[in-house]
Homo-oligomer: A and B are copies of this chain.
Amino acid sequence: MTVPDTLGGIGETAALARIFPRLPSAAAQLLGPGDDAAVVAAPDGRIVITTDMMIHGPDFRLAWSSPRDLGWKAAASNLSDIAAMGASPTALVVAIAAPADSAVSLLEGIADGLREACSALAPGCGVVGGDLSVSHTLTIAVTALGDLEGRDPVLRSGAQAGDVLAVSGSLGCAALGLRLLFERGVDASGEPDAAAAASVRAEHPDLIAAQLAPSPSIADGVAAAIGGATAMLDLSDGLAIDARRLAHASGIGLDFDSSRLGEDPNLALAGGEDHALLATFPAGAALPGGFRAIGRVVTGEGLSVDGSAFDEQVGWDPYRGWNGGAG
């Protein structure tokens, strides 16, 4: 029986040497990994920057997510934040902290996921630097850079009464995938279980992938900006929570058309981790890319569905939504 190499066994330098060849290169990279810092082209004279951390336990379970899923999702969720500004992602830096007894293949898989997500979702974007640390809790922190290519950023605050409310991407699928995992990706005692998760994933590949390895339409961020979007954000905490943020920032109200929210409008509104783009466009504008209308911007404040106020507090708060388990 072969014992796999561990991070503690081979050390940081050897681990980095195993990871580097797997990382995606960035077209904007002027100086890559290996020095104190990287240098990235910023031809616009401005740079868009966002950071997001994924933590074992509240954000993922190793019994459910493959290392490749983790790298993919860490990239995808940050790329989506760049897209939501109307920018084109150019580069990532990735800090990973893992237990010393982790197999090196864990890091290799994360690197593979980062590469595949960049290639599929934002070709030309790559990893220009990072940091490797030891921790009891597997943690992946990604910072993404984006290029506005001469355009104004699309903020949350620009929606105006009369605009069309539109979304690019699926609503509620990631939440449904998570529900399936909690219901059926567990063993008899309710603990996350890899075999059970594999079984439910084989049965519902799209729903589970929406949760574990989402594929937001990154290019639709730039398409929205070019197409005249007046406001935009990434749906990470659920449509209702995030739409309220857009409404509040813009000083307007948002009315959803329930017939546009799929079979289960409540699921779509509660959602969570959709990583779809929510945007507003001037009335009558042709909706670009994969955007479809789901409602309209109205005077007033807060949310309504088919004209009736929607005040339910549904969605995700990291400090309140976690029960402490990992698995």
Contacts and interface: CB of A to CB of B under 8 A. Distances in A.
B58 A46 contact: no
A53 to B, nearest CB: 4
A42 B45 contact: yes
A283 interface: no
Contact of A41 (B45, B53, B58, B133): B45
A318 B319 CA distance: 29
A95 B8 contact: no
A34 B268 CA distance: 24
A93 B43 contact: no
A42 B44 contact: yes
A306 B40 CA distance: 40
A293 B87 CA distance: 46
A148 interface: yes
Interface residues on A, range: 35 or more
Contacts of A37: 48-50, 81-82, 84-85, 87, 144, 146, 153
A11 B319 contact: yes
A176 interface: no
Contacts of A141: 51, 53, 95, 131, 139, 141
A317 B10 CA distance: 10
Interface string A96-120: 0100100000000000000000000
A70 to B, nearest CB: 15
Interface in A33-68: 34-55, 57-59
A8 B93 CA distance: 29
A195 interface: no
A199 interface: no
A6 to B, nearest CB: 8
A264 interface: no
Contacts of A128: 49
A31 interface: yes
A137 B134 contact: no
Contact of A234 (B36, B93, B324): B36
B139 A97 contact: yes
A23 interface: no
11 contacts: A12-B317, A31-B155, A35-B249, A36-B85, A38-B50, A49-B91, A50-B93, A51-B131, A55-B134, A55-B139, A100-B322
